[in-house]
Structure 1
Amino acid sequence: MIWKRWSRSERTTAEAAPEALLAPGLSDASRFDPGLTGTTSTASDGPTVFAAGTADGTREARPAFLDTLWREPEEGPRNQALPRFSASASDDVESTDADSSLSRRKLALRDALGASQPVIGRESFAGRHDALAQLIGCIEQQRVHVVIYGERGIGKTSLAHVFAETAREARYLVLYGSCGTEAHFDAMFRAFAARIPRLYHKSVLPNSAEAERGDHFDTMLEEHFGPRELADLFADVTGTRVIIILDEYDRVLDPNFRRDVAELIKNLSDRAARVQLVLTGVAQNLDELIGYAPSIRRNIVGLPMRPLSAAEVREVIAIGEVAAEIRYSDEAVAMVTAMAGGSPYLVRLLAHQAGLAALTDKRSVVDEKHGRAAIERVLTDWNASLPRRVQASLGRDEARSQWPLLIAAARAGSSADGYFGVDDVYTELGGTQSPPLIERDLKRFAHPHDLLELHEFESEVRFRFRYPGVSSLLLMSAAMARMTP
């Protein structure tokens, strides 16, 4: 996730964990010594308690709000009217009173900042102008294939959609497909070929029978084909240029699929075909997506997606301001910026929730109170999405006392596959704890139905959070603690 990119100097506001946040019934001496920065308290049968979370001696605090997540819900007032939709399924708000105006503004805010779907239109696209320009340049000027990579929620799919819209305006034939874990090369690329009119094949004349019938390229493929046969067919494209976008390429599990795609890229480049591929996927570097393929390195360009800058976050929020006729205060913008850590997904999610909170209060200015309400809403929703046993594990005494360790593990597990080792956690803790003790305490959370999974990879012990939502909850709670006075 994006939070891992924060420098350790930016973690200094999360100083000592308040005594009130420690597990009840545990003495200060046995769990946490505020005077021992960078030390641990050990016992023969108990876990190591981390008093420091970073290399500079600061500690990761656990926000008090988290304790409310695991309480039983309070009983609300009786005889309340049941909630109703504010608009029809066609997004029409029929009445003209003040409430209907408020409903329209909420719908406009949803369309501008809603985070449940990627951005698909340029009117809602902010920031990333440099990435879009670089992507267009790679396709148009260099005629290479492009691999867009980065962390989850960084905006890869949104960039791909906006790029596709821009390319279609330039009369490119853009074909989009989302990869799945069971993706097969022949099935996926036959579907792409079925969307390329046969009229664009150099052997077909505009007034020929094939053109009149409206045939497509898939009719020219054998029942079984590979990357060479497909490249031979695509090399005969004329009259247009084709861009094939393979989104979520990291989800593909079949190594043969990735090998065939690499072979297709090489053959298309060797034939100077008018077909180019754009791959997107979760990865920290190019090799994680395409593997070791030196034969195609000169045919591809890697486009890493960086976190949004503070100015770009402001651009995103400004779209919501115009759409919903509201204004975000400087404090609210700063809060969203700090919590999102450069993630476009989190910027939209938090800004949307904060804007909704303000509109519900019938306010036109989103202030710090609404920003905090948005953060708590997101944390509550993430917690509710976790299994009950996981919620119980996060609320138990051992998790409270090991909060810095869990935060460090969440940062260490930000790779595409989510795995991390003891050395990764050691680095995130700033080298303040010994690896054997870190491994021992991580294993305490690696029991069946607990927070972590434990795997052996060639004699190396690797861990992974059993549910991805746990690491997200931990990382955002750490960011929230930094803002707590």
Structure 2
Amino acid sequence: MSWKFWSRGDRQEADTATDDGEVATRPSPAFSTIDARLRQRPAFLDTLWRGPVETDDSPELPRFSATASDDVASTGDDPNLARKRLALRDALGASQPVIARERFAGRHDALAQLIAAIEQQRVHVVVYGERGIGKTSLVHVFADTAREARYLVVYGSCGTEARFDTMFRAFASKIPMLYHRDVLPTAIDNDAHATFDSLLPESEFGPREVSDLFADVVGTRVVLILDEYDRVLDPAFRRDVAELIKNLSDRAARVQLVLTGVAQNLDELVGYAPSIRRNIVGLPMRPLTAGEVKSILALGEGAAGISYSGEAVEMIATMAGGSPYLVRLLGHRAGTAALDEHRVSVDESHGRVAVEKVLTDWNASLPRRIQAILARDDARAQWPLLVAAARAGSSADGWFTVDDVYTEVGANIPPVTIERDLRHFAHAHELLEVQDGAETRFRYRYPGVSSLLLMSAAMAKLAA
């Protein structure tokens, strides 16, 4: 593949003046010992940071390719191409999680493990992994599959202000009284809409009251999904959920919980709770395999009648780094680029267009000050450090330590050097924020920086 141009950055070596006129000092060149593929900042980023490129405006204003009801006949565009665009969007659109089983590809092993944990082991499940790795799509497809088996599945998305009693009252309101052991079917006829929440206290309540109520479920099995559990900030909420898991397990209740969240391990989500370890199973979401990437792109091929070349598939797989979100995003953008040229064969040139459009969008989301910092020569010199820090900050809150970066660097560089150079970008440029304490932690001030850095590393790998 011809990706070499991505690595040909500007060779200007002069120090860059800061906004206040001072010349920025350069950190140590210790990272020159790292693989040369990772030391290069892609040239495309330099073109972004130079400023907007002049484009020839069409004399006609842009128009939608379909109506709000997906009608393509009255738009004036080629109806066949417009239908292909809509079909490709529906198959590979990355803005929303996958809900329908027919749009679900890859992750069959993870789905099988989740089903086995619920059906055979009768345990509670914690699904964890990096952001964009497919956790929400997995539980939506699982919910659809479980409902087909007559499970009662209730989905809830956690927020930063989530409260235990509010969330579980909402869950209880979705469970019909028909499934309560003390309620006769004839009594339900008088109030067909009665639900379990009517038996909860009107005032605040905790895990004991919820477990008492859910222990009375009969005639079905209930699965409660708490998605984005990592967003919960209240430690009391997490303690109450852990206590509820223990109580439900001890009473052999017909209610099971599935938690999902951004985390590197089980403890980050459930904390140190040895009393419930035998009641839960952790399901880590691993990166997609090459075969799973192909199966996702095959959805777009079948829906839109297009085909991705082997080079395009390889490029998308490398750039996505195992993320289903990025596979869909890049696959959709590349397919659209081909259709814009009235072609149904997607090759590496369309993949390049997709990557550059995604990077352009991500870069545009950053403040101009941050873009200027990344464009400086000292940032170029320390690109491997910045990429390693982005990898180290993959936890839910984005914080990482010097040891985390040391592990990612993979070179014989003293931790003291790493900390000094990280502080350079924290204090001199404010690219990072630093939190001093028992253990010093760093974090990128803008999460979009991490995404841009990680994709730049994938670009450098392809260009090598």
Band the TM-score falls in, shorter-chain normalisation:
over 0.9
User: Which residue identity does 2:349 align to in structure 1?
Assistant: K
The CA deviation at 1:449 is 7.0
Equivalent of residue 309 in structure 1, options 258, 283, 289: 289
Counterpart of 2:440 in 1: which secondary structure? strand
Query: What is the CA deviation profile of residues 183-240 of structure 1, one whole-angstrom value per residue up to 9, with x for unaligned ones?
Result: 0000000011111111211111112167534211111001221101111111111111
The farther-off stretch of 232-241 and 86-95 is 86-95
Equivalent residue for 1:25, pick from 14, 18, 30: 14
The answer to whether residue 379 in structure 2 is matched with residue 390 in structure 1 is no
Q: Which runs of 5+ in 2 are unaligned?
A: 17-23
- Stretches of structure 1 lacking an aligned partner (at least 5 in a row): 1-12, 28-43
Whichever residue aligns with residue 25 of structure 1, its letter is A
Q: Is the 8 A contact 2:389 2:400 kept in 1?
A: yes
TM-score normalised by the chain length of structure 1: 0.89
Match of 2:19 in 1: none
Q: Say whether 1:147 aligns with 2:136.
A: no
Structure 1 residue identity aligned to 2:185:
P
What are the superposed Cα offsets for residues 21-61 of structure 1, whole Å, 9 maximum, x if unpaired? Answer: 3444369xxxxxxxxxxxxxxxx96421344363x676421
Kindly indicate whether residue 181 of structure 2 is the aligned counterpart of residue 202 of structure 1: yes
Tell me if 1:400 matches 2:389. no
Distance 1:379 1:451 in 2: 18
Q: 1:96 to 1:178 in 2, by over 3 A?
A: closer
Query: What secondary structure does 1:276 align onto?
Result: strand
Q: Which residue of 2 aligns with 1:162?
A: 141
Total equivalences in the alignment: 455
Give the CA deviation at 1:94.
2.2
Which amino acid letter does the alignment assign opposite residue 90 of structure 1? Answer: S
Find the residue that maps to 1:445 and give its secondary structure.
helix
* Aligned with 1:270 (options 250, 253, 262): 250
456, 474, 479: which is aligned to 2:458?
Answer: 479
CA distance in 1, matches of 2:190, 2:299: 45
Contact preservation (8 Å) 1:149, 1:283: yes
* Inter-CA distance 135–211: structure 2 relative to 1 (3 Å threshold): farther
Asked if the contact 1:196–1:217 (Cα under 8 Å) also holds between the matched residues in 2, the reply is yes
Choose the corresponding residue for 1:92, options 64, 68, 71: 71
Does the 8 A contact of 1:326 with 1:365 survive in 2? yes
* Counterparts of 1:69 and 1:371, CA distance in 2: 18
Q: 1:184 to 1:51 in 2, by over 3 A?
A: closer
Q: Look up the SS of the partner of 1:73 in the other structure.
A: coil
Counterpart CA distance in 1 for 2:124 and 2:31 is: 49
One-letter amino acid of the structure 2 residue matched with residue 195 of structure 1? K
Which segment is superposed worse, 76-85 or 398-407? 76-85
Report SS of the residue matched to 1:154: coil
The answer to whether the 8 A contact 1:154-1:343 is kept is yes
- Residue 435 of structure 2 is aligned to residue 446 of structure 1: no
Note the 1:31-110 alignment, pairs <5 A: 46-52=26-32, 54=34, 59-78=38-57, 80-95=59-74, 99-110=78-89
- Map residues 61-460 of structure 1 onto 2, 5 A cutoff: 61-78=40-57, 80-95=59-74, 99-208=78-187, 212-223=191-202, 224-447=204-427, 450-458=430-438, 460=439
Q: CA deviation at 1:316?
A: 0.5
In structure 2, what is the equivalent of residue 10 of structure 1?
none
The 8 Å contact of residues 250 and 283 in structure 1, kept in 2 or not, is answered as: yes
SS for the counterpart of 1:433 is: coil
Structure 1 position 337, deviation (Å): 0.9
State the AA in 1 paired with 2:381. Answer: S
Q: Distance in 1 between matches of 2:411 and 2:357?
A: 34
Provide the TM-score with structure 2 as the length reference.
0.93
SS at match of 1:358: helix
Amino acid at match of 2:405: V
* CA distance in structure 2 between the partners assigned to 1:311 and 1:220 by the alignment: 50
Matched to 1:116, the amino acid is S
Query: Alpha-carbon deviation of 1:408?
Result: 1.5
Give aligned-pair identity as a percent: 70
CA deviation vs aligned residue, 1:402-444 (integer Å, no higher than 9, x gap):
2121112112212222111222222322233222222122111
Distance in 2 separating the partners of 1:57 and 1:67: 18
From the superposition, tell whether residues 448 and 57 of structure 1 become closer, same or farther in structure 2 (CA, over 3 Å). closer
Which digits, 9 at most, give the CA deviation of each residue in 1:1-38, with x for residues without a partner?
A: xxxxxxxxxxxx99x975x53444369xxxxxxxxxxx
CA distance in 2, matches of 1:418, 1:169: 38
- For residue 444 of structure 1, give the secondary structure of its aligned residue in structure 2: helix
Residue number in structure 2 paired with 1:469: 448
Measure the CA separation in 1 of the matches of 2:170 and 2:33: 50
Counterpart CA distance in 1 for 2:50 and 2:195 is 59
Q: CA deviation at 1:87?
A: 1.0
Secondary structure of the equivalent of 2:142? helix
The CA distance in 2 between the partners of 1:384 and 1:265, in whole Å, is 44
Contact 2:373-2:429 at 8 Å conserved across structures:
no
Paired letter, 1:402 = Q
Counterparts of 2:37 and 2:288, CA distance in 1: 26
Q: 3-state SS of the aligned residue for 2:153? A: strand
Structure 2: distance between partners of 1:340 and 1:225:
44
Provide the secondary structure at the position in 1 that maps to 2:411.
coil
Counterpart Cα distance in 2 of 1:449 and 1:48:
16
Deviates most, 273-282 or 89-98: 89-98
1:53 and 1:314, CA in 2 relative to 1: closer, same or farther beyond 3 A? farther
Q: Tell me, what secondary structure is at the counterpart of 1:208?
A: helix
Opposite residue 416 of structure 2, the aligned amino acid is P
Distance 1:294 1:79 in 2: 65
CA contact (8 A) 1:147 1:286 kept: yes
Give the distance between the partners of 1:98 and 1:474, measured in 2 at CA.
38
CA distance in 1, matches of 2:181, 2:393: 50
**How far apart in 1 are the matches of 2:224 and 2:455?**
36
Amino acid in the other structure paired with 2:364:
A
Residue by residue, what CA displacement relative to the aligned partner does 1:260-288 show, whole Å, maximum 9, x if unpaired? 00111111111111111000011111111
CA distance in structure 1 between the aligned counterparts of 2:119 and 2:418, rounded to whole angstroms: 50
Q: For residue 186 of structure 2, give the secondary structure of its aligned residue in structure 1.
A: coil
Contact 1:52 1:59 in 2 (8 A): no
Work out the CA distance in 2 between the residues paired with 1:128 and 1:176.
Answer: 20
| Distance of 2:380 and 2:190 partners within structure 1 | 69
Task: Report the counterpart of residue 20 of structure 2 in structure 1.
Answer: none
